[in-house]
Structure 1
Amino acid sequence: MRHSRTDFPEGFLFGAATSSYQIEGHAQGGAGRTHWDTFAATPGNVVRAEDGARACDHYNRWEEDLDLLRDASFDVYRFSTSWARVMPEGRGQPNARGLDFYDRLVDGMLERGLKPAATLYHWELPSTLADMGGWANADIPKWFGDFTQVIMERIGDRVWSAAPINEPWCVSWLSHFLGLQAPGLRDIRATARAMHHVLLAHGRSIEVMRGLGMKNLGAVCNFEYAVPADDSPAAQKAARLYDGYYNRFFLSGIFNRSYPEDVLEGLGPHLPKGWENDFDLIGQPVDWCGMNYYTRKLIAPDNGPWPSHHEVEGPLPKTEMGWEIFPDGLYNLLTRVHGAYTRDVPLYVTENGMANADRLVNGEVKDQARIDYIDAHLERVKRAIDDGVPVKGYFTWSLLDNYEWALGYDKRFGLVHVDFDSLKRTPKASYHELARALAR
């Protein structure tokens, strides 16, 4: 790697991220069923109908995994809590074993000198709440606030940072409009309501955590850099709209207390009555903004119903996900988000990484493509900092190869290789290279 810790300002933080359902092993420790369990059990939804029942068995192997973070000289571990592990029915009686697990996990981070960065929700909705409409139900902000109260009364005094919901676009649009993740709907009314309710739940969670005296609270959104497929006005309009419902809708709700007019043309008729009056809650002040970035998308217009466009395959080199590698998109988004939305609020790159065709050969995984990917994106982060953007940290996705949602266990994003039969962890070349770059 060309970059190292010394290339960045004093206090700049490096971290790695994971999520609960993808690594813990959900079928143990008293966790309740989630909509991902049933989505995966439905034929055709997930590769080989795989689920997170065992995953990486982080529930039992967390000490080994935290040692990996410490030994690579990471500063921060961005982890998530499972709503269904803490409250198996989504409401009511908490699961003592679940609370004890996160208690031990946070203490284990602190013992190793790691800053615990908690995300409360990373997509594993309890099945009983899904039965009641899930994110389309107007009561879900209250339910999520109650969950926030339970988990943060237990660990909130020791976490370094907290964010309510990972990637609102995936929770709502990807899962309710495109149907590619749980609950697998293709319903514009449910989509509009989920998009609004996820922001209300975010605001309610921030409100609860403030009431507990917590500090360093943020929002984590995912971003794609939208590019017109050609120079036509129609393609430019299509890319602008894609950017609208992917990027601007959630940013504008949280930081500008409004929704983009071009997005409201399609979603407005399906939003719940009185949505205009909810921005005081949605716009609860946050202390930082987290940006998850992986790729760009080329967008072309079509004659279908709103949003009347589609993605076009681009010419750039691609990851194993089929995503173009476009580091400039990260720089462009960092500068734009800072200038138009967050202003003086610090930014963190809370996820960035790639799926690669990793192979374990003679006890080694040579993943030079991942090293190059991370290095190129770090260069854009440094450029943004040099241009005055207050970027305070960079967290790679992911520490471990894990359950990659609808793609099962086929796609490997980890710095550490996981044999999903033996569960043996083997640090890849990218892990060793980052450890050298981050050594103090």
Structure 2
Amino acid sequence: MQLSRGDFPKDFLFGVATSAYQIEGHQFGGAGPTHWDSFAATPGNVVRAEHGARACDHYHRWAEDLDLVAGLGADVYRFSTSWARILPEGRGQPNAAGLDFYDRLVDGMLARGIKPAATLYHWELPQALADRGGWRNACMPDWFADYTHLIMSRIGDRLWSAAPINEPWCVSWLSHFDGVHAPGMRDIRATARAMHHVLLSHGRAIAVMRDLGMQNLGAVCNVEWAEPASTTPEDQAAARRYDAIYNRFFLDGLFHGTYPPEVLAGLEPHLPKGWQDDFTTIRAPLDWLGLNYYTRKLIRHADTAWPSYAEAPTRLPLTQMGWEIYPDGLRDFLIRTARTHTGDLPLFVTENGMANCDTLAQPDTARIAYLADHLTAVRQAIAAGAPVAGYFAWSLMDNYEWSLGYEKRFGLVHVDFDRLARTPKASYHALARWWRG
């Protein structure tokens, strides 16, 4: 399939995304320890106990990597700043080398004609704050606001856009209820408080950035299209609970100042006292919403404790992650979100891509097809009236895929993790043709 800029609105923006811990190399430049370092050092948490100490060494190779972004014809580069690189203890004395690094990075984007899109938090919480309870701690919104002020006072004047927290569901539910990501908890009370404190921290950060005079501020939520595995009332109710926990809790909080009753049925006794009073802060006006979309889930009822659901198998093709390939879910989510939550607010697909078992000898044709099909879904959503303003592919390069180590390759650029050589894949060249066409 051939696509080009001419298939999208005139001002539509294309870009690529990465995150700090996954590519920078956390051992460099005076960064402090994070809860991901501790999580990865705990046997059984991460494949082969792999960690982000060196990662892709973007800390030293950032200029080469930005040349790759420019070579794609990308308009936007979505990157994240590392809290522990800027504040090694989470609070207190900043790390001058960390602030200087992001200065250079932003200036490097601007020198190449790339719009810098910053995310303040992409999961690497300073260990000193994790020791104090992390996202469970009611002080987190204050700590996050202080961090926001520090880094945005330095680079905020040159950013095209900024968002506080990447994927609130992963920061809170996946990490505190499922225990799959750091801090690796399985505690319903911790989960409820983390979910609420993440949203409250988001609102506080938006207020700080507004006070600094920044514009084009948004939120980035990961979403999964959820459908019942059958027509039974039990499966339909289970799918609604999954959708409420994964998607609507965060979108309802941000845009409606409410939490879904399906979620409150399990979490309300564990939410912090006075949580209802925080929605004025949480609902801070936004200039755009970003959706990270990868897959759909078929959900069935499970005879277990709340939330009483389980994933059902699919017959559709899967990515290397075992995720169903379902482009229609992206189209449907963009249309639904505009109808139920955001109205005319610009929507961005802030992450979309696939893990594939790539080798340099084998062109990644599966990824090309995935990207083409999902870009087509974006076109369909626009035709249906959804105000989609941009699409950012995940990810620029193969990187550290959290609890799965370096095994799952999402990159448009192949990384040899021994030599750290970068080699653009066929998908990189395909996107470059489309985006420059």
TM tier, smaller:
over 0.9
SS at 2:289 equivalent:
strand
Amino acid paired to 2:274 = G
Amino acid paired to 1:385 = I
Amino acid paired to 1:428 = K
- The answer to whether the aligner puts 1:429 opposite 2:432 as a matched pair is no
Q: What is aligned with 2:230?
A: 230
Report the CA distance between 1:261 and its aligned residue: 1.0
CA distance in 1, matches of 2:72, 2:344: 31
Report the CA distance between 1:6 and its aligned residue: 1.1
CA distance in 2, matches of 1:314, 1:83: 39
Q: What is aligned with 2:219?
A: 219
Which is further off, 116-125 or 3-12? Answer: 3-12
Q: What is aligned with 2:365?
A: 368
CA distance in 1, matches of 2:4, 2:175: 38
Report the CA distance between 1:314 and its aligned residue: 1.1
CA distance in 2, matches of 1:57, 1:275: 41
Q: What is aligned with 2:154?
A: 154
Report the CA distance between 1:360 and its aligned residue: 1.5
CA distance in 2, matches of 1:439, 1:334: 25
CA distance in 1, matches of 2:237, 2:3: 38
CA distance in 1, matches of 2:433, 2:301: 46
Q: Runs of at least 4 residues of structure 1 off by over 3 A?
A: none
Q: What is aligned with 1:264?
A: 264
Instruction: Give unpaired runs (5+ residues) of structure 1.
Output: none
Q: What is aligned with 1:389?
A: 386
RMSD of aligned alpha carbons: 0.6
Instruction: Give unpaired runs (5+ residues) of structure 2.
Output: none
CA distance in 2, matches of 1:232, 1:47: 38
- Correspondence 1:49-68 to 2 at 5 A: 49-68=49-68
What do the CA deviations read for 1:74-114 (whole angstroms, capped 9, x no partner)?
Answer: 00000000000000000011100000000000000000000
SS at 2:213 equivalent:
coil
- The answer to whether the aligner puts 1:76 opposite 2:52 as a matched pair is no
- Correspondence 1:339-378 to 2 at 5 A: 339-361=339-361, 365-378=362-375
SS at 2:403 equivalent:
helix
Q: What is aligned with 2:176?
A: 176
- The answer to whether the aligner puts 1:327 opposite 2:333 as a matched pair is no
Identity of aligned residues (%): 70
- The answer to whether the aligner puts 1:26 opposite 2:26 as a matched pair is yes
Q: What is aligned with 2:110?
A: 110
CA distance in 2, matches of 1:269, 1:384: 39
Report the CA distance between 1:303 and its aligned residue: 1.3
CA distance in 1, matches of 2:6, 2:424: 23
Report the CA distance between 1:318 and its aligned residue: 0.2
Report the CA distance between 1:294 and its aligned residue: 0.1
SS at 2:292 equivalent:
strand
CA distance in 1, matches of 2:434, 2:225: 28
CA distance in 2, matches of 1:28, 1:430: 30
The partner residue of 2:401 within 397, 404, 407 is 404
What do the CA deviations read for 1:278-331 (whole angstroms, capped 9, x no partner)?
Answer: 000000000000000000011111111000111112110000000000000001
Amino acid paired to 2:412 = L
Amino acid paired to 1:399 = L
Q: What is aligned with 2:43?
A: 43
Amino acid paired to 1:140 = M
Amino acid paired to 1:414 = G
User: How many residues align structurally?
Assistant: 437
CA distance in 1, matches of 2:11, 2:109: 19
The partner residue of 2:413 within 413, 416, 432 is 416
Amino acid paired to 1:249 = F
SS at 2:259 equivalent:
coil
CA distance in 1, matches of 2:386, 2:224: 19
CA distance in 1, matches of 2:190, 2:115: 37
Q: What is aligned with 2:167?
A: 167
CA distance in 2, matches of 1:254, 1:238: 23
Amino acid paired to 2:112 = R
Q: TM-score, normalised by structure 1?
A: 0.99
Q: What is aligned with 1:120?
A: 120
CA distance in 2, matches of 1:2, 1:220: 29
CA distance in 1, matches of 2:297, 2:192: 22
Report the CA distance between 1:2 and its aligned residue: 2.1
CA distance in 2, matches of 1:404, 1:437: 27
Report the CA distance between 1:262 and its aligned residue: 1.2
CA distance in 1, matches of 2:351, 2:71: 20
What do the CA deviations read for 1:242-261 (whole angstroms, capped 9, x no partner)?
Answer: 00010000000000011111
